């Protein structure tokens, strides 16, 4: 005679057996997932694949690719900012696309097309707002970082019916954004304490055609480069009542205008000690500016027209890349001696550089070699095998999340 337990098993309905098995499988899967090694967001970054409209999520310590995210639109002039928890990357595309990438789940979390032609963006001090600067239509749009819902639209209207291209957009302390109007020759300071009712402070007649800008590491000084005339425009955010100060007015004033093969970029934070290092427009020089009185200290001859002039995080080295025909080379300037110490030949079209947070390495995108090269900044030798990437033209590490103006 069968026992009571044997009878219970014999007469247990099949559907209940299947449900029990399914429940046990879920428990096993849950245990497996919880035992998997977590991913550290502070060790992540993005490499932009220009032609494919894609981005590679990479591990910066292990020098390896984790995932490829596609469907990001036109990335011919892409830039990236990160959420303060470093989980999300916001990618700004030339087609007006604003993409939100989840770096933990390896997916495109959300994408919107917010304008016709976009040139970059920034994230607010509290991490809740993402601002995008637009060529077409000219202006700045501000979105909620979590949902990408539009919260503010700031048209760059400088005269009735006239809107300017917006360039040099950066975040500033006090929940503010600063940007320049290329066509108007103006700098605007937007206070977003109430994001639905931003207040705008406008500075006019700052110089012809501001083309890009940077903000100092402490968030105090906003400096716009001028394409239409010599000099730079300086705004002290601690004392905006003074207005915009023009500096380096006489540099290159009487020189012949030279062709510019690629516009210089200023958002590389080339500030080291008392010096600001800036690319000279069209010239084969790096400018060394005294930050105490904003005068030109000297010029450093380089091999070509500089594009990015970037300071290593400890400010001892300045790395420079170049426009055609010298865009396959890099030069390293000693920030103490103010001379070029080394010329490197990494490969074809070295377009973008990114330092690891403490500067022991620099990653360089080689667009036409479909590679990323990683240098040890102490030895200036390659520190790891080259990473494959399709037309890489931008490298951005999540450590940017905690830096002003990045």
| DSSP character string of 133-155 | EEEETTEEEEEETTT--EEEEEE
Residue 236 makes CB contacts below 8 A (sequence gap 6+) with 220, 221, 242, 245
**Helix, strand, coil shares of the chain as percentages rounded to 5?**
10, 45, 45
Instruction: Specify whether the CB–CB gap between 118 and 135 falls below 8 A.
Output: yes
Structural domain of residue 254, as residue ranges?
Answer: 114-258
Q: What pLDDT is stored for residue 251 in this prediction?
A: 86
The Cα 358–Cα 91 span in angstroms is: 24
Beta bridge partners of 340: 333
Instruction: For residue 396, tell me if it sits in a domain.
Output: no
Q: State the Cα–Cα distance between residues 293 and 284, nearest whole angstrom.
A: 24
d(CA 216, CA 201): 19
- 112, burial (CB in 10 Å: exposed 0-12, middle 13-18, buried 19+): middle
- Calpha distance 71→11 (Å, rounded): 54
Which is nearest to 73 in space by CA: 125, 132, 123? 132
Give me the pLDDT at residue 19, please: 59
Return the pLDDT at 255. Answer: 77
Q: What is the pLDDT of residue 24?
A: 54
* Residue 195, number of CB atoms within 10 A of its CB: 18
- Residue 151 lies inside a defined structural domain of this protein: yes
Domain count for the chain, please give it.
1
Q: How many residues does the chain have?
A: 406
In this structure, are residues 353 and 321 in contact, taking their beta carbons and an 8 Å threshold? yes
Q: Which residues pair with 384 in a beta bridge?
A: none
The reply to whether 218 falls in a domain is: yes
Question: Is there a domain that residue 129 lies in?
Answer: yes
**Is 266 within the bounds of a domain?**
no
Instruction: Determine the straight-line distance between the first and last CA of the chain, rounded to whole angstroms.
Output: 79
Q: Examine residue 173 and state whether it is found in any structural domain, yes or no.
A: yes
Q: What angle do CA 110, 116, 118 make, to 5 degrees?
A: 70
pLDDT of amino acid 349: 97
Question: Hey, what's the torsion of the CAs at 228, 81, 359, 392, to 10 degrees?
Answer: -80
Closest CA to 321 of 261, 272, 378: 261
The pLDDT value recorded for residue 11 is 46
Query: What CATH number is associated with residue 234?
Result: 2.130.10.10
Domain membership flag for residue 316: no
Instruction: Give domain status of residue 63, yes or no.
Output: no
Give the pLDDT score at 2.
Answer: 47
Strands (E) in 237-291, as ranges, are 244-247, 271-272, 275-279, 285-290
Compute the distance between CA of residue 199 and CA of residue 101 in angstroms, rounded to an integer.
30
pLDDT tens for the 406 residues of the chain, in order: 444 444 444 444 556 555 555 555 555 545 444 445 788 899 999 999 999 999 999 999 999 999 999 999 999 989 999 999 999 999 999 999 999 999 999 999 999 999 999 989 999 999 999 999 999 999 999 999 999 999 999 999 999 999 999 999 999 999 999 999 999 999 999 999 999 999 999 999 999 999 999 999 999 999 999 999 999 999 999 999 999 999 999 887 777 777 888 888 887 678 888 999 999 999 999 999 999 999 999 999 999 999 999 999 999 999 999 999 999 999 999 999 999 999 999 999 999 999 999 999 999 999 999 999 999 999 999 999 999 999 999 999 999 999 999 8
* Rounded distance between C-alpha atoms, residue 270 and residue 319, angstroms: 9
């Amino acid at each position: 005679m069968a026992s009571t337990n044997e009878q219970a098993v014999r007469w247990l309905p099949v559907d209940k057996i299947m449900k029990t098995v399914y429940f046990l499988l879920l428990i096993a899967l849950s245990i497996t997932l919880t035992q998997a090694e977590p991913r550290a967001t502070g060790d992540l970054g993005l490499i932009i694949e220009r032609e494919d409209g894609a981005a590679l999520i990479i591990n910066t310590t292990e020098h390896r690719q984790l995932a490829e995210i596609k469907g990001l639109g036109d990335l011919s002039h892409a830039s990236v900012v990160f959420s303060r928890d470093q989980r999300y990357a916001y990618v700004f595309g030339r087609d007006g696309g604003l993409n939100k990438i989840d770096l933990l789940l390896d997916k495109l979390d959300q994408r919107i097309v917010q304008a016709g032609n976009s040139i970059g963006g920034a994230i607010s001090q509290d991490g809740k707002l993402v601002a995008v600067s637009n060529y077409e239509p000219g202006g700045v749009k501000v979105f909620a970082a979590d949902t990408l819902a539009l919260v503010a639209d700031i048209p760059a209207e400088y005269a009735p019916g006239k809107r300017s291209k917006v360039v040099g957009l950066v975040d500033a302390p006090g929940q503010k954004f600063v940007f320049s109007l290329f066509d108007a020759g103006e700098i605007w300071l937007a206070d977003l304490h109430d994001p639905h009712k931003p207040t705008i402070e406008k500075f006019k007649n700052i110089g012809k055609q501001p083309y890009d800008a940077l903000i100092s590491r402490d968030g105090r000084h906003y400096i716009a480069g001028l394409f239409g005339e010599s000099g730079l425009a300086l705004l002290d955010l601690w004392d905006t009542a003074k207005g915009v100060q023009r500096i380096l007015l006489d540099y290159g004033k009487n020189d012949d205008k030279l062709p510019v093969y690629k516009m210089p970029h200023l958002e590389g934070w080339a500030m080291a000690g008392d010096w600001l290092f800036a690319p000279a427009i069209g010239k084969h020089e790096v400018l060394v500016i005294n930050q105490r009185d904003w005068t030109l200290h000297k010029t450093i001859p380089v091999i070509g027209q500089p594009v990015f002039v970037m300071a290593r995080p400890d400010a001892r080295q300045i790395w420079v890349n170049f426009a055609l025909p010298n865009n396959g080379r890099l030069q390293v300037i000693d920030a103490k001696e103010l001379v070029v110490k080394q010329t490197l030949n990494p490969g074809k079209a070295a377009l973008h550089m990114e330092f690891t947070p403490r500067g022991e390495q620099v990653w360089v995108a080689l667009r036409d070699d479909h590679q990323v090269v990683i240098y040890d900044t102490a030895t200036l030798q390659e520190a790891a095998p080259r990473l494959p990437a399709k037309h890489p033209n931008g490298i951005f590490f999540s450590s940017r999340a905690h830096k002003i103006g990045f």
